[in-house]
Amino acid sequence: MARNMTALDVGAGSAVAVHGRFEKGSFRMAGFAAAEGGSFADAYGALELPFKPSAARVAISGKDLNVRYTRVPQVPDWQLRRLMRFEVAEVGDTSGTEVASDFNLLPTPPEADGEDIVLLAMARTSLLEEHEAGLEELGASLECFTPAAIGLYNAYLRHGVVQDDTVLLANVGQDCVDVVILRGPDLVFARNLSGGGRLFQEAVASQLGVQPAQAARLVSEFADLRPGASHATPNHERVSRASSAAAGQLVSLLQSAVLFCKTQVKLPSLKLDRVLVTGGTARMAGLPEVLGAGLGVPVERFDPWAVVDTSALSPEEVDSLEAHRDEAVVALGLATMATDPEAYGLEIVPPALAARRELYGRKLWLIAAAVVAVAYLGFFAATSSSRATELQKQERVVRSQVAGKQRVDQKARELLEENARLVEETLELQRLLGTGEQLARTVEALGEHLPSDFWIERLEGRWGVDTELGVGDNVPRPLVLLKGALRQGAQAPIVQYQTLVESLEGDLPGVRTNSAFDRDRFSIDLTTFGDPVEPAPEPDEEES
């Protein structure tokens, strides 16, 4: 049975903790907690857990998180890890700050054309340190950090209605909007945007001339974006009108996310079928309708809790979950990831913690190696002298075999070096001898068959590629480029030109030509080193 895992989503406006496990196709809640706060420190400090937390997965978002998309050739895992290390090192050097990162491959779309698409997430360690300080105050340890958008994706994949359409999911928080785009069950795009509920509060504060805290309360109590909604007081109307302008900014953010997806992932034909929104700001009355009108697709609230087992929660936890069900969707996805071995994930670990884990892992291996060594020495001491003699004989045989194989290996390495040198010399000889020989044979053939009304203006031997002459795949071979002219008024110039080309093809076995004739000018490109032309199939008797 999978053990219960803890997931945290702590932002500037609220903090939620989900405790439970994904088992037999459903998530079983074992604990829930939520709190309000104006900063990370306030939110962590206000959060009281009614359960003993396990190592926690923590959602991260905001300006200190950078999500990139990179198209790479399909390479082995070790080579891909090296490429990503270079990418992360370059970003760290450019920004001048230390970053922690993780990457994963996205499902390969049909448009990828033989390439892999890598989703790379990088977070500044200063952001991670803030969360680590909050976890320490909470009495919890860290398992890893994960972009909130990835938690949102897993919440939809395991607890939503997945169809064969293109869906945009948006978690609209206080300061950030986490966006995910899917085609069917496949993740196409994940990103965090600056914005969210603070857009509405700033719009109301500016319009009504009130403080941010009062603007937040007015938005929560009075904002109603439903078309044709009746407003009880002028303040209701003014707050709703100011919120409508902020909703337009939110529409622009989501539209820019779609355009960025088309550019970054190179999916110009991508078109949304529907949009699902969640997060604390998504509770605003009429927001789905306004977003739907702006985006031109149906917009609904995403509520995964209908398929989650909450029977183990206390009445207080159930009430808290009901009040914060929109803010807790990302944490639900993270807790699902932690207990679902097939879940798609990114696991960012601070450098110091990664070093400690590597050190502890090495110590365990060293202890295990020491135990094995002691056991082996005890066994060896207990063996008889005859067994020791037999092992010594076997050792001499093995040493002799190893010495022989080392000599073979050394000889093979020398042969490989010699082979590489000979290949290089062979290519150079082919370039020099082949180019000169082919050019000489061409000059000889021209001397015999060039019509008296024709003359050569340019004759060049070249080392290169020409797919029309059967020389491709970036493997250069000797080519001959010929350009010439003819006397105006020459009799039957085209016939003489065709006769010249046929004569060259007859005198140069295996030659491939690419010729052109234009009034008093002609050109002939040729090579005898092109890929052989496959003979046409012979017709059967009936076709004959």
pLDDT digits (tens, 9 = 90+) for 359-401: 765 566 666 666 776 777 776 666 667 777 788 888 888 888 8
Position 50 confidence tier, pLDDT thresholds 50, 70, 90: very high
293-335: pLDDT as tens digits: 999 999 999 999 999 999 999 999 999 999 999 999 999 999 9
Cα–Cα distance for residue pair 14/406, rounded to 1 Å:
66
Structure tokens belonging to residue 51: 């359960």
What average pLDDT does the chain have? 87
Q: What is the pLDDT of residue 470?
A: 83
133-146: pLDDT as tens digits: 999 988 899 999 99
Cα-based distances in Å from 11 to 47, 144, 169, 203, 330: 12, 17, 19, 21, 11
Assigned CATH class of 431-527: alpha beta
Which of 46-60, 205-219, 400-414, 423-437 ranks highest by mean pLDDT? 46-60
Return the closest-CA partner of residue 521 out of 497, 491, 495: 497
On the CB side of 425, CA atoms within 13 Å amount to: 6
Q: How much of the chain exceeds pLDDT 90, in percent?
A: 40
Position 172 confidence tier, pLDDT thresholds 50, 70, 90: very high
Cα-based distances in Å from 451 to 160, 320, 497, 502, 506: 80, 98, 8, 13, 16
Looking at per-residue pLDDT, the higher value among 229 and 453 belongs to 453
Q: What is the pLDDT of residue 538?
A: 64
Q: What is the pLDDT of residue 368?
A: 67
Q: What is the pLDDT of residue 404?
A: 83
Least confident span in 39-48, 62-71, 120-129: 39-48
| Strands annotated E in 312-417 | none
195-250: pLDDT as tens digits: 888 888 888 888 888 888 888 888 888 888 887 777 777 878 888 888 888 899 99
| Strands annotated E in 65-175 | 65-73, 99-105, 115-124, 142-147, 166-172
Cα–Cα distance for residue pair 496/451, rounded to 1 Å:
7
Q: What is the pLDDT of residue 255?
A: 94
* pTM (two decimals): 0.66
Query: Among positive and negative, which fits the CA dihedral 381, 382, 386, 387?
Result: negative
Return the closest-CA partner of residue 135 out of 41, 3, 64: 41
Q: What is the pLDDT of residue 344?
A: 92
Q: What is the pLDDT of residue 534?
A: 64
154-169: pLDDT as tens digits: 999 999 989 999 999 9
Answer whether residue 544 shows pLDDT above 60.
Answer: no
Q: What is the pLDDT of residue 110?
A: 76
Cα-based distances in Å from 267 to 112, 128, 261: 9, 33, 7
Domain ranges for the chain: 431-527
Least confident span in 352-361, 385-394, 421-430, 479-488: 352-361
Answer whether residue 119 shows pLDDT above 60.
Answer: yes
Q: What is the pLDDT of residue 543?
A: 54
